[in-house]
Structure 1
Amino acid sequence: MRVLVTGGAGFIGSHLVDALMESGSEVRVLDDLSAGSLDNIKRWLNHERFEFIKGDMRDAETVKDAVEGVEAVFHLAANPEVRIGSQSPELLYETNVLITYNLLNAIRDSNVEYLVFTSSSTVYGDADIIPTPEDYAPLEPISVYGGAKLAAEALISGYAHTFDFKALIFRLANIIGERSNHGVIYDFINKLRRNPEELEILGDGTQRKSYLHVSDTVEGMLHIFEHFKGENKAVDFYNLGNEDWITVKEIAEIVSEEMGLNPAFRFTGGVDGGRGWKGDVKFMRLSIERAKETGWKPRLDSYGAVRRTVRELLSANQSGE
């Protein structure tokens, strides 16, 4: 299969590229390297089945050139930082909604058969039903990031039905693992390196969410994509997450333990009832029953994913990566 991966030098994207290359696909990556790194995909740079394009998806012509000749597009390019929405909503619009619009217009004029999009659990907002199923409504994001992801979902659905290609949308829980360069575990490690005696924790520490290791994420995406190709649906949605969840305080304890430290925890108290920041969903756990019906399930639970991620990030730092 000839595939384009947008954001393929990023955290999740590079792991997906690894899996696609290992499966024998021809892979083209489009990435502006604002959040990603060539180091993440360096093993493929000179491979005959691999092509890298450095380009900004806000430029429509760049996107149009990138989709030429591919059968499927895995659209992972996005600004991954949820918190930035309160400071720079226009940036989240450009790097989530506008780039998706440009991609859809390019796909409309191409021979692309499939679009796979990584959306987010943030589209559900503060869900009344937990674990939250894909058909939960109304979707009411409480962050600009979640709103941008939902807007992208809506555009994808409209274009797929109108211009006759198939779209698979994944709503992801918190994805963690090797090569991640943002998020709570990454932040905790860096804070403890600066001050091993004290760890600042945003919010009240009771925030409880589901975490999925990137290895399980990529396996789930590719497994369900194969299943989706056999379905007679223009658009379909799948949650990818874990069946358990873990508190921020418990994550802090695991990070401290793995680093051999015993810091004092200092909770900021947070906003809006103990949230880490404005727009932070305090409790999130997705129903993954539909994904499991296809034959996929995560190998690591949230606790195992957190502990493995801490070890991976610490090991990468020690080796100078």
Structure 2
Amino acid sequence: MSISNRDVLVTGGAGFIGSHLTERLLADGATVTVVDDLSNGEPDRVPEAATFLEADLTDPDALEGHLDDIDLVVHLAASKHVDTDRPHAQFDDNTRMTRNILEAMAEADVTEIAYTSSSTVYGEAPRPTPEDYAPLEPISAYGASKLADEGLLSARAHSHDLTVWNFRFANVVGPRLRGAVIPDFIEKLRENPETLTVLGDGRQEKSYLHIEDCLDAILHTVEHADDAMNTYNLGTRTTTSVDRIAAIVAEELGVDPEHEYTGGERGWTGDVPKMRLSIEKLSALGWEPRHSSDEAVRRSTREIIDELQ
């Protein structure tokens, strides 16, 4: 399915990934409506060419009248904090949003949805982790909510006229990223270039995907995969440790700090210490990332440093 000249609704479109995706869709000729409650997003990230609706998607009436001319929904909105102190409420919020969106789509006869899931649905799995790995045993409420959402989408896809593109993300990085390890290290080292506090033991090692590669992979998959339920990992073939990220950020800032570690193999409760997704299924569809994990981290570090000048 080509995105060009389509009417697309993007939930969470004022956030990090959503705002970049909205810009890409507009550049490709789509008409875009952004829905966001601004709990994670910023209104000035929404391009003027997009229609903006501030709404809480846990409200079942939030989309009433807004899907009549929509061809495709891209659902990115979620409560995203893996180490939340309100896990049951987070699970309820995320699954309620997805349920409400599906009900509104059915009412408006919208039959296509792209959903941003997460590598957290796998829990602590062997690496590289393929899409058909089982059992899926998430270790955070966030991961559990993503897995539950996948179940809702799969059930609707296989029992109704619905096409789902379900993306399990690695760690996506790039400009506008906040509340993650790269901007955290940048801000800490600007405040104190002598010492850097690192959560955990620094050996956590994950795959980092640049936002441009992420968007390319999403659009490529939507255009080339046409099953009822299309589940794809999005990531790189390489990984980067937290210590390596700290070294890259320090190099780009021109500092040489001592490291202090909070200890333990996890940075926070629910953190999966090591993650690398298999992207063989995506590769067979004809897509490969342009940046390695280290390259994505370094490019993103430079972009975020420039933003925070």
State the TM-score bracket (shorter-chain normalisation).
Answer: over 0.9
Secondary structure of 2:10's partner?
Answer: strand
Are the counterparts in 2 of residues 70 and 111 from structure 1 also a CA contact under 8 Å? Answer: no
CA deviations over 1:72-107 (Å, ceiling 9, x no partner): 0000011222222xx111342244211111111111
- What is the alpha-carbon distance in structure 2 between the residues aligned to residue 300 and residue 91 of structure 1? 37
Equivalenced residues, count: 304
1:195 to 164, 179, 192: 192
Are the counterparts in 2 of residues 189 and 255 from structure 1 also a CA contact under 8 Å? Answer: yes
Could you tell me how far 1:194 is from its partner in structure 2? 2.3
User: 1:266 corresponds to which letter in structure 2?
Assistant: E
* 1:233-244 alignment runs, 5 A limit: 233-244=227-238
1:27 correspondence with 2:27: no
- What is the alpha-carbon distance in structure 2 between the residues aligned to residue 285 and residue 173 of structure 1? 8
Gaps of 5+ in 2: 1-5
Runs (4+) of structure 1 moved beyond 4 Å? Answer: none
User: 2:71 corresponds to which letter in structure 1?
Assistant: E
CA deviations over 1:160-211 (Å, ceiling 9, x no partner): 2222111110000000100111211111112222222111101111111000
- What is the alpha-carbon distance in structure 1 between the residues aligned to residue 254 and residue 89 of structure 2? 39
1:251 correspondence with 2:249: no
1:166 to 151, 163, 168: 163
Are the counterparts in 2 of residues 72 and 114 from structure 1 also a CA contact under 8 Å? Answer: yes
Could you tell me how far 1:63 is from its partner in structure 2? 2.3
* 1:71-150 alignment runs, 5 A limit: 71-84=71-84, 87-127=85-125, 129-150=126-147
1:298 correspondence with 2:292: no
1:12 to 12, 17, 20: 17
Task: Write 1 or 2 for the structure with the bigger share of helix.
Answer: 1
Gaps of 5+ in 1: none
Q: TM-score of the superposition, structure 1-length normalised?
A: 0.92
- What is the alpha-carbon distance in structure 1 between the residues aligned to residue 64 and residue 283 of structure 2? 35
Are the counterparts in 1 of residues 91 and 144 from structure 2 also a CA contact under 8 Å? Answer: no
- What is the alpha-carbon distance in structure 2 between the residues aligned to residue 259 and residue 18 of structure 1? 29
- What is the alpha-carbon distance in structure 2 between the residues aligned to residue 310 and residue 288 of structure 1? 24
User: 1:37 corresponds to which letter in structure 2?
Assistant: E
Could you tell me how far 1:68 is from its partner in structure 2? 2.5
1:261 to 250, 255, 272: 255
Secondary structure of 2:83's partner?
Answer: helix
Could you tell me how far 1:2 is from its partner in structure 2? 0.7
Over the aligned positions, Cα root-mean-square deviation in angstroms equals 1.1
- What is the alpha-carbon distance in structure 1 between the residues aligned to residue 63 and residue 260 of structure 2? 45
CA deviations over 1:246-266 (Å, ceiling 9, x no partner): 110000111111111111100
CA deviations over 1:213-241 (Å, ceiling 9, x no partner): 0110001000110002xx2x211100000
